């Protein structure tokens, strides 16, 4: 009986305390969720620099929560992250590097496609829209090259898991299985693999029409749009700051385009450690196309290179042949003349076409 009354005495204060906490927290959360970012998130000193960059970027009209989510979205990640920031703040420390987890990255991607529908459609039609199951359950690949941590550098760079937690077994005999079913259909190369939202930029404005000829001279001369997501550092590196590839064709240095977008491509379509041209996944143009950027022929989102010949070539080449019908890998996948390094001397041995030399 005495125990019962003790319990009664305890229950009422607990309920009152609970209601007070819920009301206070609910009001605060309601305000936080609806007020302008300048009065909420961006009033934190820790993220001032990120806020300032966003304010100058083309995405400045997006509210923080549209990409970073609210404290309660994405399960525990946001709550843990924001809680950690407050914890650090109170301890006189600062944690200004906010990292999105993979679920948030995919939500950001949904936001991207609200405006960038054409880019999304092109991306979907190309090789970069591969999903986890397309890449990691490819038997032929897995039997030839053992899955390892470095796979995630270019495929699944935002994965919260390491390779062993993501897929198993890590051997070349299989059978392989993605350990978390919900991951299977997620894209391994989402928009943020090559782009960042807080990108440096300037506000767009109309050219000065009083002198239209000057319009092109007022354009920016750099390309802030592409950034490579470096899984190792969990940060984006603007493509312009990526290293310029030095690649060697035997002892000859190959002329490589300095196009920042190509530097981004090369991060994954790379030669071996010695930078030997044509090794590993290298497709750096040599031969007649040496010095070209990937984007001279390939669309950056779909990777489509069809119809690209006409950008530079007249329909008929010096050989009086239609370049699109010549014996290269552009026309025929089995052709010995890879379009990335086809050279004049492939056909014109000693200055003469191969077919005439036989006569």
Partner 1 sequence: MNPQNKLSRRRFVQMAVLSAGGLSVFARCTKAYSDWRFFTGSEAKLMDALADQIIPPDDWPGGKESGVTNFIDKQLIGPYIRFQDTYRKGLNGIRESCKVLYQNSFESLDFDEQTHFLELMEDGKLTGDLWAGNFDRTFFKLFRDHSMQAYYGSSRHGGNKDNISYKMLKLDYPLIIGQNRYQN
Which residues sit at the interface with partner 1, rule CB under 8 A? 21, 24-25, 28, 43-45, 48, 75-77, 80, 82-84, 86-87, 89-90, 92-97, 144-145, 150-151, 153-154, 160-161, 165, 228, 230, 232-235, 237-238, 241-243, 245-246, 266-273, 275, 279-282
Pick 13 or 273: Cβ nearer partner 1: 273
Pick 13 or 92: Cβ nearer partner 1: 92
Q: How far apart are CA 139 and CA 302, in angstroms?
A: 25
Q: Which two tokens stand for residue 23?
A: 């009301």
Nearest CA-CA partner of 292 in 274, 275, 273, 311: 311
Q: How far is the CB of 49 from partner 1 (least distance, A)?
A: 10
* Residue recorded with tokens 């354009």: 219
Q: How far is the CB of 228 from partner 1 (least distance, A)?
A: 7
Pick 25 or 214: Cβ nearer partner 1: 25
Q: How far is the CB of 292 from partner 1 (least distance, A)?
A: 18
Pick 42 or 324: Cβ nearer partner 1: 42
Contacts of 59 (CB under 8 A, 6+ apart): 197, 198, 199
Q: What are the angstrom distances between the C-alpha of 214 and each of 203, 205, 221?
A: 18, 14, 14
Q: How far is the CB of 143 from partner 1 (least distance, A)?
A: 10
Pick 92 or 175: Cβ nearer partner 1: 92
Q: How far apart are CA 313 and CA 307, in angstroms?
A: 11
Pick 160 or 304: Cβ nearer partner 1: 160
Contacts of 158 (CB under 8 A, 6+ apart): 100, 101, 102, 105, 190, 192, 193, 229, 231
Q: How far is the CB of 149 from partner 1 (least distance, A)?
A: 12
Q: How far is the CB of 27 from partner 1 (least distance, A)?
A: 11
Q: How far apart are CA 147 and CA 145, in angstroms?
A: 6
Contacts of 328 (CB under 8 A, 6+ apart): 335, 337, 338, 339, 342
CB 257 within 8 A of CB 293: yes
Q: How far is the CB of 62 from partner 1 (least distance, A)?
A: 22
Angle in degrees, 0-180, between the axes of helices 117-125 and 102-115, rounded to the nearest 10: 120
Pick 28 or 312: Cβ nearer partner 1: 28
Q: How far apart are CA 151 and CA 313, in angstroms?
A: 37
């Amino acid at each position: 009986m005495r125990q019962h009354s003790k319990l009664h005495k305890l229950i009422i204060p607990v309920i009152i305390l609970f209601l007070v906490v819920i009301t206070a927290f609910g009001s605060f959360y309601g305000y936080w969720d609806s007020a302008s970012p300048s009065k909420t998130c961006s009033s934190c000193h820790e993220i001032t620099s990120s806020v300032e960059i966003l304010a100058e970027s083309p995405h400045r009209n997006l509210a923080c929560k549209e990409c970073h989510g609210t404290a309660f979205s994405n399960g525990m990640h946001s709550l843990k992250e924001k809680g950690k920031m407050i914890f650090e703040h109170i301890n006189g420390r600062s944690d200004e590097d906010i990292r999105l987890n993979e679920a948030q990255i995919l939500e950001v991607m949904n936001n991207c496609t609200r405006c960038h529908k054409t880019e999304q459609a092109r991306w979907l039609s190309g090789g970069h829209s591969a999903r986890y199951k397309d890449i990691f359950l490819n038997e032929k690949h897995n039997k030839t090259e053992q899955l390892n941590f470095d796979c995630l550098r270019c495929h699944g760079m935002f994965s919260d898991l390491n390779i062993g937690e993501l897929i198993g077994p890590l051997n070349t005999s299989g059978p392989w299985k993605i350990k978390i079913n919900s991951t299977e259909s997620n894209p391994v190369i989402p928009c943020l693999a090559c782009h960042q939202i807080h990108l440096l930029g300037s506000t767009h404005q109309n050219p000065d029409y009083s002198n239209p000829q000057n319009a092109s001279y007022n354009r920016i001369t750099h390309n802030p749009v592409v950034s490579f997501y470096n899984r190792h550092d969990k940060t984006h590196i603007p493509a312009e700051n990526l290293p310029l590839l030095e690649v060697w064709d035997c002892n000859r240095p190959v002329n490589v385009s300095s196009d920042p977008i190509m530097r981004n491509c090369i991060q994954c379509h790379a030669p071996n450690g010695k930078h030997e041209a044509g090794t590993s996944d290298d497709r750096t143009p040599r031969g007649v196309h040496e010095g070209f950027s990937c984007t001279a022929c390939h669309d950056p989102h779909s990777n489509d290179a069809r119809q690209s010949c006409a950008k530079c070539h007249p329909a008929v080449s010096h050989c009086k042949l239609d370049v699109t019908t010549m014996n290269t890998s552009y026309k025929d996948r089995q052709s010995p003349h890879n379009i990335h390094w086809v050279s004049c001397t492939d056909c014109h041995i000693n200055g003469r076409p191969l077919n005439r030399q036989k006569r």
